[in-house]
Chains A and B, each alone.
Chain A
Amino acid sequence: QKEVEQDPGPLSVPEGAIVSLNCTYSNSAFQYFMWYRQYSRKGPELLMYTYSSGNKEDGRFTAQVDKSSKYISLFIRDSQPSDSATYLCAMNPPQGAQKLVFGQGTRLTINP
């Protein structure tokens, strides 16, 4: 079993829809949670990060962390065709190498 599980999709929604992306994890030591967006043949671009449990909002994006359920989410409101990309969740513990452990990534397409 992988440390971080993420549905690879693909997920296709109409423009303007609310998108929900999710990851589950097994390592309770994870404290920092990140969402990266990756366009085809590009490097991952940091969208948001949260520490421990709670919500964080940045424009059309909202990240949620539920440590009790080991479940994190990213919501995209008023989705745009330019949001079409692969979304990667990542997390790391607060000590040591703090290497990121990634989910598989969810491929999202927003249809005009």
Chain B
Amino acid sequence: DTGVSQNPRHKITKRGQNVTFRCDPISEHNRLYWYRQTLGQGPEFLTYFQNEAQLEKSRLLSDRFSAERPKGSFSTLEIQRTEQGDSAMYLCASSLVDRGRNIQYFGAGTRLSVL
């Protein structure tokens, strides 16, 4: 499978615990995005990487959230001290920017449930 891969698919945790999600992008893609989607809404941008550099973070990304992309390959998104409001689908997308065109391909997502 050469698409975007996300793990785990579903994470159930108790409030206050830390969780980490992983995203493996399409191998030749240089950009990697994280989005969050709540029920009945479209995905909302969280942050993105150009190779290993994190270039923009949304106001949605509180200081409890941190993302990394070491060596410009896979990425991790960590949420510390989870809250019930963090329950959502976390989506990763990757793209290869080509002459201004930036078509993003999504993974299946990680569904987080905070109890």
Contacts and interface: CB of A to CB of B under 8 A. Distances in A.
Contact of A99 (B33, B91, B111): B33
The range of chain B's interface size is 20 to 34
> What are the nearest 8 A-B pairs in CB distance?
A102-B42, A99-B45, A43-B106, A98-B102, A43-B108, A94-B100, A97-B56, A43-B109
A60 interface: no
B42 A105 contact: yes
Interface of B: 4, 6, 33, 35, 40-45, 48, 55-56, 91, 93, 97, 100-109, 111
A41 B112 CA distance: 12
A49 interface: yes
Interface of A: 4, 6, 8, 31-32, 34, 36, 41-46, 49, 51, 88, 90, 92, 94-105
Nearest to A42: B108
Given A99-B48, A104-B41, A41 B111 contact: yes
A44 B93 CA distance: 10
